[in-house]
Each structure stands twice: as structure tokens, then as C-alpha cells.
Amino acid sequence: MNYHIVLNKAFGTHVIFQHKTITIHGGEVNTILGPSGCGKTTLLRILMGFEDSDGSDISSVSGLRLSAVFQEDRLCENLSAVRNIRLVCQDKRRILSSLGAVGLSDFLNLPVREFSGGMKRRVALVRALLAEYDLLLLDEPFKGLDAATKEQVISFTKTMVERKTVLLVTHDPTEATMMASDSIITLP
């Protein structure tokens, strides 16, 4: 199933979207590409209900279960990586396997406040991937990762989202290519 949305959003006199139509193709990785400030994160915030729009039609995605990686990691800093993910998934074997796949096997029980930015990013991504969802929203999910780690994490992510509906936001066309995006939407 495809989801058609029409966006309208302005901040004062600064128009972000004016009757911008976007189609999210079901069961595919859809990528939104564009430079900083073009409205990529605003689009996700509207879809999640965190930002009011100016008469947008997002009814096709209303009622869908959403999972997301935000620009900020939004982790519980005093909890371990495993306990952060257990907030959305109770399958401990799946959690341990997923954390191992992104290179965090040696850090399972440390509080995430002791993690580097890239390690926190991987925990946030695994948490979003293991949640139950109809639509996965990824806002710059690979930022802060070195090239080798990014390749490893993208490979794992591709496996996890096969035949699922994903909206990936990035300013990096290489990430869209690495994710084998089926549909690329360019904003300004």
C-alpha cells in the first residue's frame, strides 16, 4: 500500500511546504534527500504529530504504528543498552543478536551515559528497528558513525527493514545508495 500525503507548512512568512505531495511506497525504503533547512525533519515531525501543519493531508498515515530514530538519540541515560531496547522489545535473544550485529556486544550492561555518540546512535537505531511498527521514520540515523561502522550498521539495517515501509531522511546521497532506496524524493 502506498501513502500519499500533501504538506503545507510555514513558519511565519517562511514557507517550508506549499501543497507538496509526497508518496511513501509501502514495503520499500523511501529516502528524502535535501540540504539542511529544507524541511526534512519538519516533515517527520508533522507525520509523528509533534509539529502542527497548515492544512496538510496526512490522513493516509493516520493510525499507523510508528517507530523512529530522531536526530537526538533520546535514550534513558541511566539504563544499559539492553534495558533501553527492552522498553520496546522483550525478546532478549533478538536484542543481544542485534546489538552484536552493530558492534556493541562488549558494552551490553554499561549505562548508555558512558557510551560515545556513535554507540548511542546504534542503540537508538536498534531500539527503533526492534519496535513494532507499520512505518519506520529515520532522521539521519547514521550520523556520527565512522565509515567502517556505518557500512556495518547500514548492512544490518537493510536486513532488518526488508519488505518494510521506511522513510529515511538524509542529506547524504551515499547513504540512500547504500540503503538501496527504492524511492528517492528530493526536497527543497
User: According to the model, what pLDDT value does residue 35 have?
Assistant: 87
Cα gap 136→143, rounded to integer Å = 17
Q: Is residue 20 part of a domain?
A: no
Q: What tens digit of pLDDT does each residue of 157-181 get?
A: 999 999 999 999 998 899 999 998 8
Q: Please report, for the domain that includes residue 98, its CATH number.
A: 3.40.50.300
Q: Is residue 4 part of a domain?
A: no
Q: What tens digit of pLDDT does each residue of 24-73 get?
A: 999 999 999 988 889 999 999 999 999 999 999 999 999 999 999 999 99
Its pTM stands at 0.94
Q: Which letter, b or e, does each residue of 102-130 get, where b requires 16 or more Cβ atoms within 10 Å of its Cβ?
A: bbbeebeeebbeebeebbbbbbbbbbbbb
CA distance to 9, 12, 46, 50, per residue, from 17 (Å): 5, 12, 11, 16
Q: Is residue 19 part of a domain?
A: no
Q: Is residue 114 part of a domain?
A: yes
Percent of the chain past pLDDT 70, that is, above it, reads: 100
Cα gap 170→158, rounded to integer Å = 15
Q: Is residue 172 part of a domain?
A: yes
Q: Do residues 29 and 181 make contact, with C-beta atoms less than 8 angstroms apart?
A: yes
Q: Is residue 135 part of a domain?
A: yes
User: According to the model, what pLDDT value does residue 187 have?
Assistant: 85
The domain in which residue 156 lies consists of 27-55+63-186
Compute the CA torsion angle 38, 40, 43, 48 (nearest 10 deg): -150
Q: Is residue 148 part of a domain?
A: yes
User: According to the model, what pLDDT value does residue 180 have?
Assistant: 84
DSSP of 32-48: EE--TTSSHHHHHHHHH
User: According to the model, what pLDDT value does residue 188 have?
Assistant: 74
Q: Do residues 47 and 137 make contact, with C-beta atoms less than 8 angstroms apart?
A: yes
Q: Is residue 138 part of a domain?
A: yes
Domain count, the chain: 1
